[in-house]
Structure 1
Amino acid sequence: MALPPSRQLLSEYAPEGVLRVALNHGNRILVGRDETGAPCGISVDLARLVAGTLNLPLQFVEYERAADVSGSATEGVWDLCFLAVDPKRAETLDFTLPYVAIEGRYLAGPGCDAADAAALVASGAPVGTVEGSAYTLTLERQAGADHLVRFPDIRAMLAALDVGTVAAGAGIGDVMAAEAALRPGSRVLSPPFMEIRQAMAIVKGRPRAARHLTDMLANLARSRAIADILERNGVARNAAVLPD
């Protein structure tokens, strides 16, 4: 039987005595709201599982964008978060191994004639993206970075796509597919431009908790508990990433 977490470990996880978990509502695959307006989804279920394992009370700190989560990492307002792994973010956060892989894809508007993702990049057409998101951070390091048009949130990006300010938008594959279905003549381009590997992260400077969280998440993945959470929230079980 596993020993209960030590007082020192719990003080690293939750120095205020409550496990404060940041939620990014900008990722609609991982976080949503129920009919009462309360947060729900994969991140919420996983946070509850972690807090329950640690026997800690749980508090959600809610943000609308990934950039707002990562940008507040040093402000002492939350303890854990759910973000895509990125080297820039790793300057202030210690990431676990990824627990789920999500595709990043382009949504081409009706006026875009690019046959695929490579043709879109080669064309030099303006591509909308949400500033500070994992896919933006990746696209900024790839060919076509000069043609990115950054928007504060996905609503602004989609509005620009609808009026033709940008030829295409970048985002999470399933979200782009849902938006394409609402826009006659729009389509999602293949192949994906990246695999977005989502992980949990803890503020730097808490080494015991960082190691413990990584091990805990790996054990949850091996036990298929994470796959169960994905399936319960409408995401394919095979999107779960198993540790080596």
Structure 2
Amino acid sequence: MNLTSSIRSAFTPQGALRASINLGNPILACRDADGAARGVSVDLATRFAALLGVELELVVVDAAGKSVDVVVSEQADIGFFAIDPLRGEHIAFTAAYVLIEGCYLVRDDSSLRANEEVDAAAHRVVVGKGSAYDLYLTRTLQQARIVRSPTSPTVVDTFIEQGADVAAGVRQQLEADAHRIGGLRLLGERFMVIGQAMGTPKSRGEDAAAFLAQFIEEMKASGFVDEALARHGIEGASVAPAA
């Protein structure tokens, strides 16, 4: 990787590398016992800052939409997002480094048994506001009504409180909530596969975007991403194939 002073400057206009970390996706990040952010995205941000030879500052948020906003507004220099064409208007994405599953959750006594039954006018589907699931289902659901929870981790609680029909989100988060609450089940199959990528504002230039893309490919090829998933006990997510 050919790191030039102009590329370093493109990523660090404030001196340090500011990385947006979204705690709303447990696959990517969470808080440890001391309250500090930890996870695969934090590990990647730390490694990238070391590559640039600069200090790292974490901009920690609780929802995907907020993470996008701080990068688009250039309050952060890099972020970790599900790839989506709407977000791609202002953010230059790498290829995916991790693939995760989006699933539906219903009550045990729900008549729903398959994904294709969800999109009906009588159904309300709860998603995290601004999440990849929100963006995707807004485009694809034709009849069901979408209800937006403030963040992805609050989706199931909102689903229960509002008596909605379906909750949509990261498989692992839904499974954990089903275990916590009881009386809930996942529909059998995923409704989407989400590619999680790194991104930087397009204003930082093509050379910076290409450098970040190369960094992600090396992190996948070297085993760093796979080791990070194992280190943080992440199950049900897989390293994305080479671009």
- TM-score bracket, normalised by the shorter chain, equals over 0.9
Of 180, 183, 188 in structure 2, the residue corresponding to residue 190 of structure 1 is 188
Query: What's the TM-score, normalizing by structure 1?
Result: 0.92
Cα distance between partner residues in 2 of 1:9 and 1:222: 22
Cα distance between partner residues in 1 of 2:51 and 2:233: 24
Change (3 A) 1:93 1:42: same
- CA drift at 1:72: 2.8
- CA drift at 1:217: 0.8
The residue number in structure 2 matching 1:160 is 158
Change (3 A) 1:157 1:225: closer
Q: Any idea what SS the aligned residue of 1:182 has?
A: helix
**Residues 109, 162 of structure 1: 8 Å contact kept:** no
Q: Any idea what SS the aligned residue of 1:23 has?
A: strand
The residue number in structure 2 matching 1:65 is 63
Aligned-residue RMSD, C-alpha: 1.8
The residue number in structure 1 matching 2:110 is 112
- The aligned amino acid for 1:95 is F
- CA drift at 1:190: 2.0
The residue number in structure 2 matching 1:87 is 85
**Residues 16, 55 of structure 2: 8 Å contact kept:** yes
The residue number in structure 1 matching 2:217 is 218
Cα distance between partner residues in 1 of 2:202 and 2:196: 18
- The aligned amino acid for 2:222 is S
Of 123, 133, 136 in structure 1, the residue corresponding to residue 134 of structure 2 is 136
- The aligned amino acid for 2:223 is R
- The aligned amino acid for 1:92 is H
Q: Any idea what SS the aligned residue of 2:182 has?
A: coil
**Residues 227, 237 of structure 1: 8 Å contact kept:** no
Cα distance between partner residues in 2 of 1:185 and 1:76: 43
The residue number in structure 2 matching 1:8 is 6
Change (3 A) 1:138 1:238: closer
Cα distance between partner residues in 2 of 1:95 and 1:120: 31
Aligned length: 242
- CA drift at 1:46: 1.1
Change (3 A) 1:237 1:120: closer
The residue number in structure 2 matching 1:209 is 208
171-180 or 64-73: which moved more?
64-73
Give structure 1 stretches of 5+ with no counterpart.
none
Identity of aligned residues (%): 31
Q: Any idea what SS the aligned residue of 2:95 has?
A: coil
58-67 or 122-131: which moved more?
122-131
The residue number in structure 2 matching 1:229 is 228
- CA drift at 1:139: 0.6
- CA drift at 1:143: 2.9
Give structure 2 stretches of 5+ with no counterpart.
none
**Residues 228, 237 of structure 1: 8 Å contact kept:** no
Query: What's the TM-score, normalizing by structure 2?
Result: 0.93
Change (3 A) 1:147 1:68: same
Change (3 A) 1:110 1:58: same
